[in-house]
Amino acid sequence: MMRTFKLALCVLLGVLCAAPVAAHRASDSFVTLTVDGAPISGQWEIALRDLAAADPVDADGDLRLTWGELNAALPALRLRLHDWLRVDADGAPCTLVVDDLLVNDRLDGRYAWLSLSAVCGDVPRQLGVDYRFLADIDPGHRGILVLAVAGGPTQTAVLGPQQPRIVLAPGATSRLSQFNDYLREGVHHIWVGIDHVLFLLSLLLPAVLLRDARRWRPVPDLRTALVEVTGVVTAFTLAHSVTLSLAALDVVRLPSRLVESAIAASVVLAAANNLVPVVTRRRWAMAIVFGLVHGFGFASVLAEMGLPTQARLLSLIGFNVGVEVGQVAIVLVFVPLAYVFRHSTKYERWLLRPGSAILAMLALVWLIERAVGL
């Protein structure tokens, strides 16, 4: 009794003062299925460790899994596939086939990549997936399922002993938040960058036009357009540099939800101003006011990347310059084209007005999202 108690004590004491358990890289596999009409294709990525736990792939038992061994195990894996992963369409089972075996290096280790395909008769309205891999060996294991219609939105599900089966409608209209998740995935900085770019574009769209007696007319010469553009961009740059620096050096801090909402609002207003011109002559003033807000937005991106403790100022300047270069590139591309086409009656009708309208609507969506906190 005493001995088992001591043994148990050794185990439990480890977790005693601990309680903070190691942040685990849990056991997951990744099933990706794409529906393209009737055929379904995709892949199943299984961690080699998990495969070795489910099947004696290490044939010689030397604890080193070679490519030869993995390949040789493929016929057996094909036979067992049906026990582990099943797909059915509108209730009728589809035959899932392993077309190929490759290897994939993910961030947390090496996975077997099984290329899959299935033909399910007709175009499936409802796709059922049954996942039972490792359920009897490791109840903590999960299958992360990503289902997509070719070229369309994706749906994600987590399958495991608690939920071994899911039925999805592949063609379901994407929810707005799902669409945004897809965009947001790992490219946050571009997302933030886009609204700055669009704000700038909103201000630049009418730069090659003059508002005259409630009508738009093309500017008479390039110089006028350039003066306008320079004024707007310089004002925007100066303003956001100031607030970016203040925020990045922790002199001023604003809640990010407020900042992001204000940035979205600025795009709405700038775009709307093109449709119902309120500010016509001093767009640079708009650029300054809203530039101050955008600077805080840049700061949050910078914060996410983290300013190093050494060479902080230099990094800050570098980031700023990077932003400037990006803007200049856009201006250099957009303005000459806009100038060339400014005479076209279509410019106002097909670019300025619908372009601004689209920008305004897009920004309105962002504004609502960010304000509500989606």
Contacts to another protein from residues 191-220, by CB under 8 A:
191, 193-194, 197, 201
**In this chain, which of 38, 41, 58, 164 binds another protein, going by CB under 8 A?**
58
52: tokens are 């070795």
Least distance (Å) from another protein to the CB of residue 253? 5
Collapsing DSSP to helix, strand or coil, 28 comes out as: strand
Binding pattern for the stretch 11-50 against another protein, x by CB under 8 A and - elsewhere: xxxxxxxxxxxxxxxxxx--------------x-x--xxx
- The rounded distance, in Å, linking the Cα atoms of 16 and 64 is 35
361 interacts with another protein by CB under 8 A: no
254 interacts with another protein by CB under 8 A: yes
Nearest one of 244, 297, 299, 241 to 266, comparing CA atoms: 297
DSSP β-bridge partners for residue 156: 146
**In this chain, which of 158, 167, 325, 328 binds another protein, going by CB under 8 A?**
158
Q: Are 250 and 305 in contact (CB under 8 A)?
A: no
Least distance (Å) from another protein to the CB of residue 235? 22
Residue recorded with tokens 């670019």: 351
Choice between 169 and 361, CB closer to another protein: 361
- The rounded distance, in Å, linking the Cα atoms of 185 and 362 is 19
Only segment of 85-93, 188-196, 220-228, 277-285 that touches another protein (CB under 8 A): 188-196
**In this chain, which of 38, 123, 144, 289 binds another protein, going by CB under 8 A?**
144
Choice between 70 and 85, CB closer to another protein: 70
190 interacts with another protein by CB under 8 A: yes
Least distance (Å) from another protein to the CB of residue 359? 8
251 interacts with another protein by CB under 8 A: no
Please, which of residues 334-353 interact with another protein by CB under 8 A?
A: 334, 337, 341, 344, 346-347, 350-351
Collapsing DSSP to helix, strand or coil, 139 comes out as: coil
Residue 172 burial (10 A CB sphere; 0-12, 13-18, 19+): middle
Only segment of 8-16, 89-97, 123-131, 320-328 that touches another protein (CB under 8 A): 8-16
Least distance (Å) from another protein to the CB of residue 310? 5
Nearest one of 259, 269, 260 to 202, comparing CA atoms: 269
Least distance (Å) from another protein to the CB of residue 265? 19
Choice between 144 and 242, CB closer to another protein: 144
**In this chain, which of 91, 151, 220, 308 binds another protein, going by CB under 8 A?**
308
71 interacts with another protein by CB under 8 A: yes
98 interacts with another protein by CB under 8 A: no
370 interacts with another protein by CB under 8 A: no
Please, which of residues 266-295 interact with another protein by CB under 8 A?
A: none
Residue recorded with tokens 């500010």: 279
**In this chain, which of 38, 55, 172, 279 binds another protein, going by CB under 8 A?**
55
304 interacts with another protein by CB under 8 A: yes
The DSSP H or E segment spanning 203 is: helix 188-204
Output b/e per residue, 58-71; b: 16+ Cβ within 10 A: beeeeeebeeebbe
State the amino acid at position 331 in one-letter form: V
- The rounded distance, in Å, linking the Cα atoms of 253 and 123 is 53
Choice between 92 and 176, CB closer to another protein: 176
Choice between 20 and 91, CB closer to another protein: 20
281 phi and psi angles, rounded to 5 deg:
-95, -35
Choice between 89 and 168, CB closer to another protein: 168
99 interacts with another protein by CB under 8 A: no
Residue recorded with tokens 């996942």: 131
Residue 159 burial (10 A CB sphere; 0-12, 13-18, 19+): buried
Residue recorded with tokens 């009708």: 349
Q: Measured at the alpha carbon of residue 111, what is the angle toward residues 105 and 117, in degrees to the nearest 5?
A: 110
